Structure 1
């Protein structure tokens, strides 16, 4: 006779309630991330993506769903092993796809019919998000509308630890990636109001690193942090606020948004004047009486 206190499934098997366990990061782990697949949304089309680490390369964003490997060209197949993405097939019947190959906001159209169909599905989802107001295609203006004469890069170039990075957000909007005690992402910003140890904006030649040739007659505004102590620069590189930088045992809920700066690929984000410089309107010499009649 079954006990009334024991829950059962519809097929007669007992439903055992396993105790919930919270994710944690081991002390010897090289990464502070709690999850190998970091959920995000594409900034261009608004569709869900997943970020995975790669060996000796930057993280790659993959499409969340798997597709049959026979319908995908071998050069476009990805597989995930132990939380690391590899650009090749693993012999299984299913594979993953890089979101860049099927993103409907990109001009390049895939050749495989299966990828074209998936791209159409994502395009329809993008249209639904736009119509419902849940997503607005980013225009990435170099200057805000409230102050049209002040240059405020939406994705500034930041130099720290003698390396130049392209940030994903303005300097004062870079958010901490650490996990709080409530198991959500920290809402503090790296650049806090009233903080004394901050970087300085400067104009430098548009090069990616030392030893690389500069673009002809090209300078760019860089937020320089090299004058700060090493621990402070490391805090910026880890993308942690001052409170979580002192607690290395706290896990991360997101990947750092830094992208190695390349003046050729990121030429659209080069600004040739400082953000704190206000462009004054030209004066009319006839109105001020300094010109010749």
Structure 2
């Protein structure tokens, strides 16, 4: 009987407790995340989420294999509700503009963004666009989101001529449209405190570009543009390493630290003369202003 009574008893306590029954506190080994140097995207998953600057709704950034990152709707939709030309799928963190054969797909946010009037929303996605418009109104009423002001750039506006809000930057022999003025373009790398770096790209000790007037030529197959010249912030004459740093949108400190991850998407957009014609300026920005017929001075361009 005694043998049967003690046969089911454990001779050693569970691993989560000591011999006397007191709980054993396991020491967790903290390991920091590292970015794979051979990966296509250096953007952390926490940095891929954001909000549309036009409507305030949630979006997710994903890199493409050939072009810049694309903004996708954060939720998957049934493929039957999405037209074939609007279907996307994500594979290994990279977005592809096609379906993967499954019954679910992703959708670009630009197709259903309520702040955009063109192109027209497909009828299958009209209900989703209306729900996003209602959510935008709720965010505005709650004071969480403020719509961007309407563009008032015109040749008669001194602020638009002397300091472009979205300048055209030329680097690596390509032209990009920046989302911020040249002096306010911010580094997108992650700091040791796990927040975004606040340093600008244009630092006093680094080589800077120059403003220049270049011919306002259209792309191949497009009609000629009305203005003959346009102001461009030219970086083609700076060293090649500096151009790569600007393209990656990193300050000099984080450009020398390739292991630092990105917390945001680079704000560069391929410049299209026809789609971005309102951002074309025919005069150079200047350091100081003086009253005149065009509202700008005739001094040397700001470096």
Q: TM-score per shorter chain, which class?
A: 0.7 to 0.9
The 1-side partners of 2:75 and 2:69 are apart by: 18
The TM-score, its normalising length taken from structure 2, stands at 0.78
Is residue 98 from structure 1 mapped to residue 98 from structure 2 by the alignment? no
Structure 1 unpaired stretches of 5+: 7-15, 283-293
2:4 corresponds in structure 1 to none
- 1:214 CA drift (Å): 5.9
Q: 1:180 to 1:196 in 2, by over 3 A?
A: closer
Runs of at least 5 residues in structure 2 that lack an aligned partner in the other structure: 1-8, 18-25, 294-303
CA RMSD, 1 decimal: 3.1
Q: Give distance in 1, aligned partners of 2:269 and 2:68.
A: 8
Shifted more, 41-50 versus 16-25: the winner is: 16-25
**One of 123, 148, 155 as aligned partner of 1:112:** 123
Partner of 2:137: 127
Q: Distance in 2 between matches of 1:21 and 1:207?
A: 52
Q: Secondary structure at the match of 1:58?
A: coil
Alignment partner of 1:169 is 2:173: no
Asked if 1:87 is matched to 2:100, the reply is no
Is the aligned partner of 1:23 residue 2:33?
yes
Aligned length: 268
Decide which moves more: 43-52 or 272-281. 272-281
Task: Determine whether 1:32 maps to 2:32.
Answer: no
Deviations 1:193-236 (A, max 9, x none): x44621111111113689x9863442111111122111112111
Instruction: Go from structure 1 to structure 2 and tell me whether the alpha carbon gap of 1:264 and 1:123 turns closer, same or farther (over 3 Å shift).
Output: same
Given that residues 54 and 85 in structure 1 are in contact (C-alpha distance below 8 angstroms), is that contact kept between their aligned partners in structure 2?
Answer: yes
Q: In the alignment, is residue 63 of structure 1 matched against residue 100 of structure 2?
A: no
Secondary structure of 2:141's counterpart equals helix
Distance in structure 1 (CA, Å) of the matches to 2:87 and 2:170? 35
The question of whether the paired residues in 2 share the 8 Å contact of 1:38 and 1:254 is answered with yes
Q: 1:74 aligns with which of 80, 84, 91?
A: 84
Q: Is the CA contact 1:51–1:61 (under 8 Å) kept in the aligned structure 2?
A: yes
Q: Matched residues in 2 for 1:196 and 1:66: separation? A: 44
1:149 and 1:62 map into 2 onto residues whose CA distance is: 31
